[in-house]
Structure 1
Amino acid sequence: MYRVRNMGWIVLGAVMLLLAACTGAPDAAPVPQEQVQEQPQEEQPQETKVPMEGLPPTALEAAASVITALKDGDMSTLAAWVHPKKGVRFSPYAYVDTQTDLVFTKDELKVLMEDSKKRVWRTFAGSGELIEMTYAEYHQQFVYDADFIKDAKIAENKSLGQGTTVNNLNEVYPQDSHDFVEYHIEGIDPAVEGMDWRSLRLVFEKIGDDHALVGIIHDQWTP
């Protein structure tokens, strides 16, 4: 009986040891959840504003390019604006003389600054002497002879300078088919009280909505 009882206790102890072993075992590692990484959103390209191309320039825009070319003596850029068939006429004073004022084609204009040939550009107001100069000399005295870009007032299709010389611009270049932009300096030396005023008129023929340079008219005080 004692032995049976002892066997019972032994069995019971074994069962208890087994339960204790199971209870003390470390917890099983949790099954890892599938990790989902948030994908970075692609940066959306910003809208690029593309400038309008192919739009014909206004008379003021064309004049701005031409006056810069004249200041720089950039004859290639100047030639690019010249009328492809009519060329460009140079007038030293307000009166445009269609018989004697010199006209140059685009190709002639490109090399004109380096041309050493003296030409007769008309006569000086007052003295009547011939204006016989190379183009470079004429350019300095009867084209860009003042800082028009810096100092001038600008007007479109309106004459600002008025001297004793007749201004026949609208007769030679009719308003319905031409635009002109005038750069006018009221005076350079205050001591002469405006008797040294200058104007430069750039005349464009309208070709549809486009503009082609046909005239460069210089004007100034004359006796």
Structure 2
Amino acid sequence: MYVLKKIGLIALGAILLLLTACTEIPKPTPELEPTPVLEPEPTPELEPQDGQSEEEDQPGEGVPPTALEAATTVLRALKNGDMKTVAAWASRKGVRFSPYAYVDTKTDLVFSRDELEGLMGDPTERIWRTYPGSGDLIELTFKEYYNQFIYDADFMSDAEVSVNEMLGESTTINNLNEVYPKESHNFVEYYIDGFDPVYEGMDWRSLCLVFEKIGDDSALVGIIHNQWTP
């Protein structure tokens, strides 16, 4: 009888061990930390490219360009000595250069598109007219003429601008509207009202760019310089 009880206890112990093994409490799964949400980095602002000028940022011309838009492009080219761009705007008849307000259709020099492109580097001295008062010949290379009778002041930055209205008045007869009738031409004048108070405004300067109307388009036909004359 004792033996049977012992066997029974052993069997019971084995059963309890088996149940314990089968019902082992699983270890708790460690909690995962939430994945942080990365904020997108701001896109850096692009710096202007080296050599990029303020003029390149200016709005372009309309299609077709207005007289003022055309004149602005030509004046910018003149300021930079860019005769290739000036030539691109030139009329097929060429461009006439007048050192003073009176346009002399007989003696003022006219240059074709092809001639205009190479003028800045042309060493040829030409007679452009005579100086008022002294009567001496204005005998200059184109670059010298440019410095005295085209861009002799910063018209791009300092000038008052008018379209089809003359601002500068001198003792020289102004026949612009006779040579370039308003029905078929537009002009834009850039006028600077003197530099030195000592001269009481007598050192004023102006530059007129004259365009022929070709349908809705424009072609440069005249560059007229003006200033006080004795």
What is the TM-score with the length of structure 2 in the denominator? 0.74
Alignment of 1:145 onto 2:141? no
* CA-to-aligned-CA distance 1:163-189 (integer Å, 9 cap, x gap): 100000000000000000000001011
Choose the corresponding residue for 2:66, options 51, 58, 62.
Answer: 58
Change in Cα spacing, 1:52 to 1:213, as seen in structure 2 (3 Å) is: closer
Is the CA contact 2:185–2:210 (under 8 Å) kept in the aligned structure 1?
Answer: yes
> Among residues 103, 121, 125, which one is paired with 1:96 in the alignment?
103
User: Which residue matches 1:161?
Assistant: 168
**C-alpha distance in structure 1 between counterparts of 2:134 and 2:67, whole Å:** 35
Q: Residues 62 and 69 of structure 2 are in contact (CA less than 8 Å); yes or no, is this contact kept in structure 1?
A: no
Instruction: Give how far 1:191 is off.
Output: 1.2
User: What is residue 191 of structure 1 aligned with on the other side?
Assistant: 198
Q: Deviations over 1:91-125 (max 9, x none)?
A: 00000000000000010000000000000000001
Larger Rg over CA atoms: 1
Q: Return 5+ residue gaps in structure 2 as ranges.
A: 1-58
SS at match of 1:73: coil
Q: In structure 1, list runs of 5 or more residues that go unmatched.
A: 1-50
> What is the DSSP-based 3-state SS (H/G/I as helix, E as strand, rest coil) of the residue aligned with 1:175?
coil
User: Matches of 1:159 and 1:91 in 2, distance apart?
Assistant: 16
Residue from 70, 73, 78 that aligns with 1:70: 78
Is 1:175 matched with 2:174? no
**Structure 1 stretches of 4+ moved >6 Å:** 51-54
Please tell me the root mean square deviation across aligned C-alpha atoms, in Å: 3.0
**3-state secondary structure, aligned to 2:226:** strand
| Percent of pairs with identical residues | 69
SS in 2 for 1:62: helix
In structure 2, distance between residues paired with 1:54 and 1:129 = 44
SS at match of 2:104: coil
Aligned length: 204
- SS of the aligned residue for 1:214 comes to strand
